[in-house]
Amino acid sequence: MQSDYQGFVPHNLKDIKLNIDSEINALVNKAYLLLGRLDGMAITLPDIDLFVSMYVQKEAVISSQIEGTQASLVDVLQKDKGKEKIKDTEEIVNYIKATHYAFKRLNKMPLCMRLIRETHAVLLSNVRGEEKMPGEFRRSQNWIGHAGSTLKDASFIPPAPDEMDICLGDLERYIHEDSTISNLIKIALIHYQFETIHPFLDGNGRMGRLLIILYLREQGLIEYPVLYLSYFFKKNRNRYYELLNNIRIKGEFEEWIKFFIDGICEISEDAITSIQKIVELKNTDMKKIRELSGSNISNLLLIYDYLLQHPFLEAEDIKNLVGVSKPTANKLLENLMTIEIVELVEDKKRYRQYVYKKYVDILSEGT
């Protein structure tokens, strides 16, 4: 049957001829230096797992916001604290699970289409889009366009399923082929290719952004998932789509590569600054606790560690954590308010909630 549309089939990446000029080389060198500095700082953190956990939550929020979810990082952190459950937070929780799942699987298998499918299944489990074949590449034509658009007025039509399968096979080989170009240029091309192939019925954007961090991890450029381009793409959303389209229409790979690596530099610098701010805040606030007079210091330090994992808390949390009475828990919270570590969020007769606001503010930058 004759169709009245034509899907775009991207070139095999190994056939692309690039003009890598001095500007791109300078950006690549800067990006490698910043990635090395970021990874070095992350490794020296005394509570790296905690920082990574919070950073993955932040990335999950931003990446999901790009896809239209309304939840903020505060909604996720506050979710189990009496706040009405927001459906969008489930998508964010899935993104967090998918990230941890993929990183763990990378220890046992290479970055391949199977791993991407498995991760996608976690990403779309029991949330919006779960009817769209989680963990399976599409077997029908999809398209990109405004809400309610059809194939006839789509802004972009990816390759048909049979052509898509060939493209994915070529992409998987390209991921593992030895190359003369920098791995940072290579992942810029891989991300473009994945988004252009658009192999899933839903979740392609989130999966394509996750693919970046998985490739950097497999290549040994980062040890921990603390570098995400979602914030950069969100902030430069129109430019991001414009440059992807310019590759498809005009073959302008070099401008896209500059944009992508500039993003790696900017986001590395942001992550380094966040780590510095959190370390400084922690040192300052622990000093405040230690300088308090009284016998509650050990309990306050225990609560402080809890706050770093759960920045929203109430007296009941402290009662269970430290094993004290409700009045004593309230007294400990008063101590933390006096030295300006926590502040009151909600003051209701039966429900008082507190937040480690300075910490949440650092984590929430960009969300």
The amino acid at 321: L
Does the annotation flag 207 for ligand binding? yes
Does the annotation flag 208 for ligand binding? yes
Does the annotation flag 146 for ligand binding? no
Catalytic residue among 11, 100, 176, 198: 198
Strands ordered across the beta sheet of 352-355: 312-313, 352-355, 343-347
Name residue, tokens 């009245």.
4
User: What is the distance between the alpha carbons of residues 158 and 44, in angstroms, rounded to a whole number?
Assistant: 44
Phi, psi (deg, nearest 5) at residue 21: -90, 180
Does the annotation flag 109 for ligand binding? no
User: Do strands 312-313 and 343-347 pair parallel, antiparallel, or not at all (unpaired)?
Assistant: unpaired
Whether the Cβ atoms of residue 198 and residue 163 lie closer than 8 Å to each other: no
Give counts: helices (H), strands (E), the chain.
15, 3
The amino acid at 26: A
User: 198 an active-site residue?
Assistant: yes
Does the annotation flag 240 for ligand binding? yes
- The neighbour count for residue 262, using CB atoms within 10 Å, is 15
Does the annotation flag 220 for ligand binding? no
Does the annotation flag 198 for ligand binding? yes
Name residue, tokens 């931003």.
62
Cα–chain-centroid distance for residue 157?
A: 26
* C-alpha torsion 75→81→85→91, nearest 10: 50
Does the annotation flag 145 for ligand binding? no
Does the annotation flag 7 for ligand binding? no
240-to-7, 16, 191, 259 alpha-carbon distances in Å: 21, 20, 12, 8
Residues tagged in the binding site annotation: 67, 198, 202-209, 240-241
Would you please indicate which residues are annotated as catalytic (active-site) residues?
A: 198
Q: Which residues contribute to the annotated binding site for ATP?
A: 67, 198, 202-209, 240-241
